[in-house]
């Protein structure tokens, strides 16, 4: 089954404790992206990647890191989480450069930073 898999689904942590949210897709998509969803603010892009070893900042990259060492994986790293990073996070993937492929979203990770 074609899918984007995120882990964990729920995460509660404390300020300053490094964490990683994993994302993997099995559709051989070149493009992968991370979004955060906050009430009233919609889906805001954090980082995206157009291929292996190619990553770019989205609209709200501060406090986050990503890596793309393999085509299928795109982890989101919070080196020193803060309470304002409490949010619902979605990973997504699609083909690059047009075509009829929609953006495929993972199930989301609800992060709480205390």
Q: 84: number of CA atoms within 13 Å, CB side? A: 5
Closest distance between other proteins and the C-beta of residue 43, in Å?
Answer: 4
43 binds other proteins (CB under 8 A): yes
**Which pair of tokens denotes residue 31?**
């493009």
* Of residues 42 and 114, the one with the C-beta less far from other proteins: 42
Instruction: Choose one: 14-22, 65-73, 79-87, 90-98; the region binding other proteins (CB under 8 A).
Output: 90-98
62 forms part of the interface with other proteins (CB under 8 A): no
33 or 85: whose CB is closer to other proteins?
A: 33
**C-alpha–C-alpha distance, residues 103 and 94, integer Å:** 5
Rounded CA separation 11/29 (Å): 27
Among 11, 22, 95, 112, the residue binding other proteins under the rule CB under 8 A is: 95
Burial class (CB in 10 A: 0-12, 13-18, 19+), 113: buried
């Amino acid at each position: 089954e074609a899918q984007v898999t995120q882990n964990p689904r729920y995460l509660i942590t404390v300020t300053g404790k490094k964490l990683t949210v994993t994302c993997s897709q099995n559709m051989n998509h070149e493009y992968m992206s991370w979004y955060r969803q906050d009430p009233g603010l919609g889906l805001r892009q954090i980082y995206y990647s157009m291929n292996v070893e190619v990553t770019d900042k989205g609209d709200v990259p501060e406090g986050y890191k990503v890596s793309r060492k393999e085509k299928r994986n795109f982890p989101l790293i919070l080196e020193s989480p803060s309470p304002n990073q409490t949010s619902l996070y979605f990973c997504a993937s699609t083909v690059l450069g047009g075509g009829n492929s929609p953006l495929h979203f993972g199930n989301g990770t609800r992060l709480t930073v205390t």
